Structure 1
């Protein structure tokens, strides 16, 4: 049995050299599914540090009504 390994994804925010911000909500929409859920690290390739910041900033943007909680 052979294990198939894919290429390791690089962190979007580490490449750009910046942190996620609630003010840039257009950028945050890349990390939300069609239903409005936050997409996990395995799918997006974001590092653990930036995933924690990303989740906090998405929640902050939702609280300020910049992003929807649920997309119907």
Structure 2
């Protein structure tokens, strides 16, 4: 059993990756970059960019939005869902 889990086997296994390389590029908030003053819940095309295929609101670490705009975005998406402009699930 210890032969299967040896250190050498783990290094050669495809499931283990070495750390290193280039850092991923820092995401920029879409709303700050385009100088938005508010997010309109009726702008369904914009809101769909921040909703997954399954209908979930995408997190900040994926979209790169700032905390301020993520809160406004969440409120706008929930309003659009309530008025049946966006689906709750897909």
Q: TM-score, normalised by structure 2?
A: 0.72
Instruction: Identify which of structures 1 and 2 has the higher relative contact order when contacts are C-alpha pairs closer than 8 Å and 6+ apart.
Output: 1
What residue number does 1:14 align with?
A: 32
Return structure 1 stretches of 4+ with deviation > 3 angstroms: 1-4
In structure 2, stretches of 5+ residues that fail to align are 1-18
What do you get for the CA RMSD once the two structures are aligned?
1.4
Relative to the length of structure 1, the TM-score reads: 0.89
Q: d(CA) in 2 for partners of 1:27 and 1:37? A: 15
User: Where is the helix percentage greater, Structure 1 or Structure 2?
Assistant: 1
The number of residues matched between the two structures is 71
Q: Which of structures 1 and 2 has the bigger CA Rg?
A: 2
